[in-house]
Amino acid sequence: MPPASGIYVDGEWVESSTGETTGVEDPATGETVGEIHVASASDAERAIEAAVGAQAEWAATPGPERGAILRRTGELLAERKDGVAETLTREEGKTLAEASGEVQRAVDIFHYYGEKAREIGGTVKAASSSEKRLRTEKEPLGTVSLITPWNYPIAIPAWKLAPALATGNTAVLKPATVAPGPSRAIVECLAEAGLPAGVANYVTGSGSELGPVLTEHEDVDGVSFTGSTVVGTGVYQSAAADMKRVQCEMGGKNPTVVAPSADFEAAVEAVGAGAFGVTGQACTACSRAVVHEDVYDEFVSAVADYAESLTVGSGLDDVDMGPHVTADELESTLEYVDIARDEGATLVTGGGRPSDDDAAAGHFVEPTVFADVESDMRIAREEVFGPVLAVIEVSDLDEAIAVANDVEFGLSASIFTQDLSETHAFTDRVEAGVAKVNEKTTGLELHVPFGGYKGSSTNTYREQGDAAIDFFTSTKTVYLNY
Ligand code: NAD
């Protein structure tokens, strides 16, 4: 069995060269529930060297064989699903039901790309001569760095690792220091499934120490990053400096428009679930409800009732919403509550920490609704990354779309309407990489592209589905005369 922590380099679980470890805290209790080894820049370099050393042989391994290892990884992860979901809840805080759904997502992703590995190929086109053949082939990029956030600590590592490996790349994964256990489980399952040494490597530690190596090293051919816009912007600049392929998926400020014709109850439910699910710590969380004046008052009252109906507590208990992941994230949300009040928004419900004694040790916050929000307020423009909903009143669809687009982000956006013209106007004109009709902003299918517009993404390549295959491969065009 591998040790409970450590970094994984060239097929071995080893201690980091610093010899330092740092604890992983349960956000519901403050207890230490795990540890990570703090890797150094030289550990990251060793991991890259191991990946580079393993790349040619892995690329030469037939796709179906690579796929079989990925499918086996999915099976092993499925066998460990309950334990991994519990680890996820203990480290990140989301409820066990949410964590379990996320682990299942990772399982499904490994099966999906396990099958895809068979199909990776190219196209054949008609050539300008009958004695010529023209075709394209997809080749792996080489060695890739995968940098992931804490908020989906197994789904995001899975949706980067699985397509990277399926296409014949080797990889170094660096998860967030908060909630590293679930991605470690993936690496353990990959090793048990027979992945050759060096193909997937795993380093933990500070982003500012490891990030520059992972994004700038001359032997790294591609960088896939998910995280905040501020860090992603720096990652993009440093990775693109020597023409590496790079994709960064970053923050959001996702709107749901509620039209007068909407199925009202469905809209309230979707906005509530989108705003407060996973404690609002989703890049696709609904943080703005843009509501037509005809249903505005009724909507504010109903969504506040929804927020007040939620139970808040440890994700291991039978609750609707877990804690914030860290004290810093909690602090940031509470600061935004003050900012919104100072800006003149009306606090309808929540805005503080739950008062019961059990909540004192954890990073809990109440589901919060602000009304009378104007589109130019910070609460309507900046990513809060907590369970805080801003409700904005509008008088027609044009204004709703203008408000929806009036932010630097463009990740996910939805509308609730029964009007076909409104549906088309919205999906045509909304500036978002994901546009949904009569559905919450959160929740993604794994076989279609995912990514943002504007400040939410480098908008280079999408993730997931076939888009991930495109990101992790280069296209070679073959002219064959005979
Ligand atoms: P973060 O940007 O702080 O960290 C993300 C990762 O980058 C971590 O592994 C971190 O250690 C690493 N990192 C930090 N400094 C680095 C550097 N200088 N160079 C390279 N890597 C560095 O983000 P977070 O707090 O972990 O996650 C929350 C953010 O992620 C939110 O903004 C959220 O919207 C975003 N997110 C986006 C998506 C998406 O698909 N668009 C999905 C989930 C989360």
Residues 319 and 311 sit within 8 Å (Cβ to Cβ): yes
Residues ≥6 apart with Cβ < 8 Å to 360: none
Over its C-alpha atoms, the chain yields an Rg (Å, rounded) of: 23
Q: Name the pLDDT band for 5 (thresholds 50, 70, 90).
A: confident
Per-residue pLDDT averaged across 192-221, rounded? 98
Q: Which of 91, 173, 230, 283 to mutate to test the pocket of ligand 1 (most atoms within 8 A of CB)?
A: 283
**Which residue has 């009007």 as its token pair?**
419
Strand ranges across the sheet with 254-258: 346-349, 368-371, 388-394, 286-292, 254-258, 412-416, 434-437
Whether the CB of 151 sits within 6 Å of ligand 1: yes
To 5 degrees, how large is the angle CA 206–CA 322–CA 97?
Answer: 100
| Chain segment 227-268, per-residue pLDDT in tens | 999 999 999 999 999 999 999 999 999 999 999 999 999 999
Q: Which residues pair with 416 in a beta bridge?
A: 258
Q: How far is CA 262 from CA 265, 294, 305, 341, 426, in A?
A: 9, 11, 18, 29, 14
pLDDT digits (tens, 9 = 90+) for 415-451: 999 999 999 999 999 999 999 999 999 999 999 999 9
Helix (H), strand (E) at residue 444? none
Using the predicted structure, report yes or no on whether residue 2 has a pLDDT greater than 80.
Answer: no
pLDDT in tens, 391-415: 999 999 999 999 999 999 999 999 9
State if residue 251 touches ligand 1 by the CB under 6 angstroms criterion: yes
pLDDT digits (tens, 9 = 90+) for 376-389: 999 999 999 999 99
Helix, strand or coil for residue 185? helix
Burial 265-297 (b: 16+ CB within 10 A, else e): eebbbbbbbbbbbbbbbbbbbbbbbbbbeebbe
Please state, in angstroms and rounded to a whole number, the distance separating the CA atoms of residues 49 and 43: 10
Q: Average the pLDDT over 200-206 and give the result.
A: 97
Letter string b/e over residues 304-332, b meaning 16 or more CB atoms within 10 A of that residue's CB? bebbeebebbbbbeebbbbbbbbeebbee
Q: Specify the CATH number of the domain 254-437.
A: 3.40.309.10
Is the confidence at residue 11, as pLDDT, over 50? Answer: yes
Angle ∠(300,318,159) on CA atoms, nearest 5 = 80
Helices and strands, counts by H and E, the chain:
15, 21
pLDDT, tens only, 74-121? 999 999 999 999 999 999 999 999 999 999 999 999 999 999 999 999
pLDDT band at 193 (very low <50, low <70, confident <90, very high): very high
Supply the mean pLDDT for the chain.
Answer: 97
- Confidence class for position 361, pLDDT limits 50, 70, 90: confident
Ligand 1 centroid from CA 452, angstroms: 15
Residue 114: the pLDDT is 98
- Burial category of 176 from C-beta neighbours within 10 Å (exposed 0-12, middle 13-18, buried 19 and up): buried
The fraction of the chain above a pLDDT of 70, given in percent, is 99
Class of domain 7-250+457-481: alpha beta
Query: pLDDT confidence of 341, banded at 50, 70, 90?
Result: very high
- Gap between the Cα atoms of 19 and 7, Å rounded: 11
Closest listed residue to residue 183, CA positions, set 225, 148, 143, 231: 148
Q: Phi and psi at residue 170, in whole multiples of 5°?
A: -110, 160
- Cα–Cα nearest to 99, from 306, 412, 322, 286: 322
Distance CA 244, CA 221 (A): 5
Domain boundaries, the chain: 7-250+457-481, 254-437
- CB contact at 8 A, 401 and 421: no
Quick one: pLDDT at residue 356? 79
Residue of 7, 22, 102, 147 to test ligand 1 pocket, by largest number of atoms within 8 Å of CB: 147
Ligand 1 pocket, 228 CB below 6 A? yes
**DSSP 3-state of 114:** helix
Cα of 208 to ligand 1 centre, how many Å? 12
Q: pLDDT tier at 4 (50, 70, 90 boundaries)? A: low
Q: Is 286 among the residues known to form the active site?
A: no
Q: Residue 396 Cα, ligand 1 centroid: separation in angstroms?
A: 36
Query: What spatial distance separates the first Cα and last Cα of the chain, rounded to whole Å?
Result: 55
- 238-262 per-residue burial string, b: 16 or more CB within 10 A, e: under 16: bbbeeebbbbbbbbbbbbbbbbbeb
Name the residue at shortest CA distance from atom 14 of ligand 1.
Answer: 207
Q: Percent of the chain at pLDDT above 90?
A: 97
Q: Which residues contact 449 (CB under 8 A, 6 or more apart)?
A: 433, 462, 463, 464, 465, 466, 467
pLDDT at 1 over 50: no
**Which pLDDT score, from 0 to 100, does residue 229 have?**
94
Q: Which residue out of 226, 246, 409 has the highest number of ligand 1 atoms within 8 Å of its CB and is therefore the one to mutate?
A: 226
Name beta bridge partners: 415: 257, 437
